[in-house]
Amino acid sequence: MEIELWWLLALPLFFGLGWAAARVDIRHLVSESRALPRSYFKGLNFLLNEQPDKAIDAFIEVVSVDPETIELHFALGNLFRRRGEIERAIRMHTSLVSRSDLNEEQRLHALYELGQDYLKSGLLDRAEDALTKLAGTSYGGRAEVFLLEIFQLEKDWDKAVAVATRIEAETGISRQKEIAQFHCEHAVSLMAQSKPEEARAQAEAALKANRKAVRAQMILGDIAAQAGRHEEAIEAWQKVESQDPMYLSLVAAKLIESYTKVGRQKECLTLLRGYLERYPSLDLLDVAFQLCLELEGMDAAYKLVRDELKRSPTLLGLDRLLEARVMMEPPERQADLQLVKNLIHRHTHRVARYACENCGFKARQFFWRCPGCGGWETYPPRRAEEFDLSP
């Protein structure tokens, strides 16, 4: 294939034009860099070296010299907030919102940052007002995430449901578990206000949002039990097995109370024994042990614990077994066993905790929402030791 003569002449021309363009870009970059104050580079250096206090001082110097550095104002406001100087962050972002020379995108950005400042400072009404103004804008979706947090803090569950539903529709990410929990929280609040029918409606809405919402099923049982409808309560709580049997330990004591009210304690013990065989649980064992001790005596209760310990060996189970054994022994032999039990109990006291699957936060009581990370249903209703020893 022959190469035409004009191609040979054009190639050097193209190289020359590329070289000239590169020179222009480099000169422009150098001139811009020279125009920036030295404090700007000092601030960047401090940030890279994880020295935010010194970085803030350097950036403040830049802003005082050149108040037109909008992006630097944003960076400085965020640094104030991260450092815990919320009042300074609020002043910085309020100043930006009120400036007339900002374009619409910059003003929305400032309002978004201001809403976060108010939230961090606990001024929830102001935070809600600022973030609500972003609805329908490019910051609307991000603002709703913070609005959801605000409504949870305010315990405004109707608004929380509405926002979570919108977020789900916009992102395509399921929020059904959270929505169900918001309905449950509302139901619990209504029960405390002696409004059982409204509470029932909220619990049913939770089940509609998430048919696996164990808490909603438990609430329906609680409402029935409070009204004296114990057969209905028993039926509601037994449905937990089909939703998630791991939560049966949370309804075991409730079942005993309602079965006792209708005079069917032995039937309840049979039910709990069956649960234990199918779904071993330390908390379930503890409840069944007490009922067995009351109905069938110490020997039967001891056998129940021993058999369970063979199926699922744990220190917590051993602690309960030793407790039963101490009660079976004559007084003169109880002292030695009690000493051993106390040593075991001292250790089990540390491991008998629930642990969040998200952040690892441990607590002695069960939470539907983790106090550490704020996640919903991140606490499995089993003690940490049971997971540590599971195969």
- The pLDDT of residue 83 is 80
Average pLDDT over residues 292-311: 84
Mean pLDDT score across all residues of the chain: 80
Average pLDDT over residues 48-67: 51
- Checking if the pLDDT of 204 tops 80, the result is yes
Dihedral sign, Cα of residue 364, residue 155, residue 241, residue 177: negative
Cα(358)–Cα(371) distance, integer angstroms: 11
- Checking if the pLDDT of 326 tops 90, the result is no
Average pLDDT over residues 54-65: 50
- The pLDDT of residue 125 is 95
Cα(302)–Cα(72) distance, integer angstroms: 71
The CA-based dihedral angle spanning residues 340, 342, 347, 351, taken in that order and rounded to the nearest 10 degrees: 120
Q: Name the β-bridge partners of 376.
A: 369
Residue span(s) of the chain under CATH 1.25.40.10 come to 67-154
What percent of the chain has pLDDT above 90?
Answer: 46
- Checking if the pLDDT of 55 tops 60, the result is no
Least confident of 100-114, 139-153, 209-223: 100-114
The pTM for the full model equals 0.76
- The full length of the chain comes to 391
Cα(24)–Cα(93) distance, integer angstroms: 37
- Checking if the pLDDT of 360 tops 80, the result is yes
Q: Does domain 67-154 have CATH number 1.25.40.10?
A: yes
CB 62 within 8 A of CB 43: yes
CA distances from 241 to 105, 227, 272, 273, 325 (A): 52, 23, 12, 14, 32
**Exposure string (b/e) for 117-145, b if CB count within 10 Å is 16 or more?**
bbbebebbebbbebbebbeebebbeebbe
Average pLDDT over residues 121-146: 94
- The pLDDT of residue 267 is 96
Average pLDDT over residues 228-250: 96
Terminal alpha carbon distance of the chain: 72
- The pLDDT of residue 65 is 42
- Checking if the pLDDT of 150 tops 50, the result is yes
CB 286 within 8 A of CB 248: no
> At 53, is the pLDDT very low, low, confident or very high (cuts 50, 70, 90)?
low
- Checking if the pLDDT of 69 tops 50, the result is yes
Cα(74)–Cα(89) distance, integer angstroms: 9
CB 354 within 8 A of CB 342: no
Model pLDDT for residues 18-52, shown as the tens digit of each residue: 544 444 343 443 344 444 455 444 444 444 445 55
- The pLDDT of residue 30 is 37
> At 99, is the pLDDT very low, low, confident or very high (cuts 50, 70, 90)?
confident
Between strands 354-355 and 362-363, the pairing is: antiparallel
For 103, the token pair is 């374009």
- The pLDDT of residue 248 is 95
Closest-CA residue to 94 (of 69, 75, 118): 118
- The pLDDT of residue 186 is 97
Average pLDDT over residues 191-219: 96
- The pLDDT of residue 348 is 61
List, in order, residues 6 or more apart from 343 with CB less than 8 Å away: none
What DSSP string describes 14-81? HHHHHHHHHHHHHHHHHHHHHHS-HHHHHHHHHHHTT-HHHHHHHHHHHHHH-TT-HHHHHHHHHHHH
- The pLDDT of residue 289 is 87
Average pLDDT over residues 361-385: 86
Q: What is the DSSP letter of 137?
A: S
